[in-house]
Chain A
Amino acid sequence: MNRPIRALAVACLVLFLALLANANYVQFVQADSLNAKNGNKRVINEEFSRDRGPILVDGEPVAESVPTDDEYKYQRTYSDGKLYAPITGYFSYIYGRGGLEYSENPVLSGSDNRLFVSRVVDVLANKQPKGGSVETTIDPFAQQAAATGLQRLGPTSQGAVIALRPSTGEVLAMVSQPSYDPSTLANHDFDEVERAWGRLLNAKSQPMLNRTTQQTLPPGSTFKLVTAAAALENLNLDPKDMIQAGRTLSFPGISYTLGNYDRGNCGGNRITFERAMNVSCNVAFGALAGRIGEQNLAEQAQAFGFGTDPLSGLPSGPSRFPTGDLEPPQLAQSGIGQFEVAATPLQMAMVAAAVGNNGQVMRPYVVKSVRAPNLRVIEAAQPESLGQAMSGVNSDKLTQMLVSTVAKGTAASARIGGIDVAAKTGTAQSTRDRPPYAWFVSFAPADNPEVAVAVVVESSDTARSEIAGGRLAGPIARSVMQAVLDR
């Protein structure tokens, strides 16, 4: 009977080898894909109960994990959650992550491959792995100034402020109003989180929308920076050159006419290019758009970043300039930032920054550096150029036009004593039944700017007749610039 027993032994060997091979398949080969499956409570629990790294603003944590007594061991807390929510995003057991909590999750949770060594050390020391920290580019004073400015417009007002450092593309301030407190979503009482999430999702004012990057609105007269840049580049215009202005712009064979905002005549039928900018003359810029042509104007918009999604790490969308055989009135309207032109505040800030930065567009970014738990820098952001939107000579000319717009034009509300400020207002119509959007873009100091700002106020507790970019949005931009310059 030994022959069958030997055969049986071989058969048993095969059974056990199959078990061993299968264990390797499940626990090694398949492990990553199983860990990534939806609803894997172990992975969620583990991340939730880890010593997650902080998100820092100027060295101070705005999001950090503090030890608790409950089963998850750590509670994610947000100091000044509403103020920084557009940047930090949220960290929820049920609803996952948003913002930097989402995009920098590998570092914050400690699973990033660059943290491998510290992870191995933690395993050897039998410690729970710690996450690395993320330092943002945000300037807390600019951020606070922007938020205060928007709050002054009333509790139900909606708007956005974004500030960039023109020379690098660092985002110095990013405020969206209304905002939300991520702490309500990081709560360990999941019923409460569910209710909070429902409230945020159903709110008409969309508090979880990052209005600086996710929402495009007609930029109105602030788009005249793009049209002016295209005119300087393509028509070889000089600020002192006389261009067509007047009360209305009419088109051959069409009854439609384009008028000015205040039904005025811009100070004559022929005015200087610079004056057209100072008084934000729609007729002049509508006519310029026609001279520049659809193709050139679209290319100029693209050179500033329209049509691209330049920001990484936070949810954002591209801005749009319409193309495809525009009728002359449509092209003229596009030239003053109406018709189907739609831009995010981030995009308009990039335009202002590029004008101040000798025509060079810098890629905006919010993460300055990433550090391992032992504070070793594992990644430091390098400024990246997205290209030259206009020549340095022309950008100087445009800057001069914007400085005089502050000094003696519509953007007087941005004046700062002792410093040249370049700015442009905008008041964009959307539909007749809603108030216009008040815009303001600016940078300062004009010759070598440290900060460029874009402000948009969608709605405020202000009477409709009072709404104009200069009056509503200008002071906010001014206080943000002041905050950066005062440092």
Chain B
Amino acid sequence: MSMPTVWVPRKRRGAEFFLMILAVSIGVMSYCAVGLGAQGRVPAGAVGLAAGLVSLAVAAHFVIRRVAPYADPVLLPLVLCLNGLGLAMIYRLDLGRQQIDPERQGFAGPQLVWTIFGLAFFTAVLVLVRDHRRLQSVTYTFGFAAIVLLVLPLVPFIGAGVINGSRIWINVGPFSFQPGEAAKICLAIFFAGYLVVKRDALALAGRRIAGVDLPRGRDLGPILVGWLVSVGILVLQRDLGSSLLFFGLFVVMLYIATERSGWLVVGGVLFAAGAYFGYATFDHVRTRFEAWLDPFGDPDRNGQIISGLFGLAHGGILGRGWGLGSPQLTPFSFSDFIAASLGEELGLTGLMAIILIYGLLVERGLRIALTCRDAFGKLLAAGLAFSLALQVFVVVGGVTRLIPLTGLTTPFLAQGGSSVVMNWAIIALLLRISDQTRRPAPSVTPLDSDDETQVVKLGSPSAPAEIAEGPAGVPSAPEGGGGT
């Protein structure tokens, strides 16, 4: 490490701006194509929408320039593209559904408002959280918040009761909200903060069986709690998707923190047990499972997944084109099944492009985790990126019958305010961490004094320095894995 060449990432804000214009044009052109395809004319609000989206994008761009100038330049364009495609498809489904019944509620307008809220929240997170490590100081607050959010739908008067078979909604004034979306972020922050502190205890002790390091029985406490919470969600809220998501997130973050694959084995066993318990106990789990194995065995009951498959097949390789398919025939084509709707109108080509966009999002997130210099940021970035990956896999895989269908929202595409707002917050956090990571290290005067070096070395020689750091500590010098 003598005389390391200091690598200073370029800001690439110009590239980001260019990509953003590209992404916004995709959204606006899709919107116009929907009008042309479904009604034979460009929709009346196209210019307004274009102006609105462009100003939102430009605003977001300047916020980043101002408060996170070194942030990853690809994330924002990717997300804008997804968000624009989602808006266009929701608008298209409004047209299709209102063709069946003119009384049907339109979702595109509210979704646009939610997108604006999302970008506002995105800005707020970037401005308020100037250093992600501050979040570590409120680890347990986030943990508590997550539990409150998860319990809210079960509270009388606030909880909106059972909607579409799940109790995951609350009513706040005129809005309904899915607190589980917010709980996902709170849990990721809590897990990251908690594991950074406890990882040594969880990592060091244990025994080795068949080449796999298994943890000690007494260390199983946290994972059992996480598992019980997930099963609780499954039992009390009937929310298979969230249950799977939270447990998967916890197990994977545990694995990253401890670097011990034994936790994956324990997690896998617990997951299998939970899945079997769900299958044996709940009709709705069994129904989903059977619909996955043989949807055509009971065409009436499995109408939704069958209609989704028919739509995908009808779309074929190139798709029907915006506004020219019949995605509105599928129930919840605008939320749970929006991936099938997009596959029908944009075809295999479009659906693969969308999956690739998600893949790139996850890849950028994991890259941020790799290059991040502090353990908390690493864990948080990896956790957020993985939660995105798992969510996309579960919902798109469910809709395309790769795995049994579970109710989760498709990030940035699906109709639903809480989902859009909270996913924008995830992007804000990732951008914040990447800004910290890519920012050139402050020019610290070289430490020449041996005494001071000695003080640092007095800590645990194997433990990385940042454990000892306070939440407001100054960025440390890159450790071995950083800066690659």
Contacts and interface: CB of A to CB of B under 8 A. Distances in A.
Interface of A: 1-6, 8-9, 12-13, 15-16, 18-20, 22-24, 26-28, 30-32, 34-35, 37, 39-43, 45-46, 71, 123, 126
A3 B259 contact: yes
B326 interface: yes
B208 to A, nearest CB: 17
Contacts of B363: 9, 12
B433 to A, nearest CB: 13
B310 to A, nearest CB: 5
A43 B314 contact: yes
B316 A23 contact: no
Contacts of B362: 12, 16
B367 to A, nearest CB: 8
A28 B481 CA distance: 43
A171 B481 CA distance: 84
A389 B318 CA distance: 54
A120 to B, nearest CB: 11
Contacts of A24: 348, 352
B329 interface: yes
Contact of B316 (A4, A31, A40): A31
A19 B310 contact: no
Contacts of A19: 355, 392-393, 396-397, 400, 402
A71 B39 CA distance: 11
B325 interface: yes
A126 B378 CA distance: 49
A125 B382 CA distance: 46
Contact of B351 (A3, A27, A34): A27
Contact of A27 (B299, B313, B378, B390): B313
Given A19-B402, A37-B296, A4 B370 contact: no
B366 A12 contact: yes
Contact of A22 (B321, B359, B389, B397): B397
Contacts of A37: 296, 310
Given A2-B481, A28-B317, A8 B397 contact: no
Contact of B347 (A15, A27, A41, A71): A27
B343 A41 contact: no
Contacts of B355: 16, 19-20, 23
Interface residues of A: mostly helix, strand, loop or mixed?
A: helix
For the complex of A and B, list the 10 residue pairs with the smallest distance between their C-beta atoms, beginning with the closest. Answer: A34-B313, A27-B348, A22-B402, A2-B481, A31-B313, A4-B256, A16-B359, A42-B314, A15-B393, A12-B389
A71 B359 CA distance: 39
A38 to B, nearest CB: 8
B296 A20 contact: no
5 contacts: A2-B481, A5-B256, A26-B312, A27-B316, A31-B314
Contacts of A27: 312-313, 315-317, 343, 347-348, 351
Nearest to A18: B402
Nearest to A35: B313
A250 to B, nearest CB: 66
A58 to B, nearest CB: 37
Given A20-B355, A27-B348, 17 more contacts: A4-B255, A8-B366, A12-B359, A12-B363, A16-B356, A16-B362, A16-B392, A19-B392, A22-B397, A22-B401, A23-B343, A24-B348, A27-B316, A30-B309, A31-B312, A35-B310, A45-B326
A37 B295 CA distance: 12
Contacts of A20: 352, 355-356
B393 A1 contact: no
Given A19-B397, A39-B299, A41-B310, A126 B321 contact: yes
A26 B397 contact: no
B425 interface: no
B251 to A, nearest CB: 11
A23 B348 contact: yes
B358 A26 contact: no
Contacts of B99: 71
Interface in B357-392: 358-359, 362-363, 366, 369-370, 375, 378-379, 382, 385-386, 389-390, 392
Taking each of B309, B329, B392, which has the highest tally of chain A beta carbons within 10 Å of its own beta carbon?
B309
Contacts of A126: 321
B108 interface: no
Contact of A42 (B325, B359, B481): B325
B343 A1 contact: no
A23 B378 contact: no
B206 to A, nearest CB: 16
Nearest to A33: B313
B98 to A, nearest CB: 12
Contact of A23 (B375, B386, B400): B400
B311 interface: yes
Contacts of B257: 1
A31 B309 CA distance: 9
B338 interface: no
B183 interface: no
Nearest to A17: B359
Nearest to B299: A39
Contacts of A3: 259
A461 B348 CA distance: 63
Contacts of A71: 99
Interface in B327-351: 329, 343, 347-348, 351
A152 to B, nearest CB: 49
Nearest to A23: B351
Nearest to A24: B348
B252 interface: yes
B382 A35 contact: no
A448 to B, nearest CB: 54
B256 A1 contact: yes
Nearest to A126: B321
A391 B315 CA distance: 59
Contacts of B389: 12, 15-16
B259 A4 contact: yes
A46 B311 CA distance: 12
Contacts of A6: 370
A42 to B, nearest CB: 4
Contacts of A16: 355-356, 358-359, 362, 389, 392-393
A8 B316 contact: no
Contacts of A30: 309, 313
Contacts of B385: 12
A314 B472 CA distance: 85
Contacts of A40: 310, 314
A9 B366 contact: yes
Given A19-B400, A26-B313, A26-B401, A5 B348 contact: no
Contact of A1 (B299, B313, B325, B378): B378
A393 to B, nearest CB: 61
A43 B402 CA distance: 23
A8 B382 contact: yes
A12 B400 contact: no
Nearest to A29: B313
A5 B255 CA distance: 9
B299 A26 contact: no
A34 B310 contact: yes
Q: Among A5, A26, A31, which residue has the most Cβ atoms of chain B within 10 A?
A: A5
B348 A42 contact: no
A27 B392 CA distance: 18
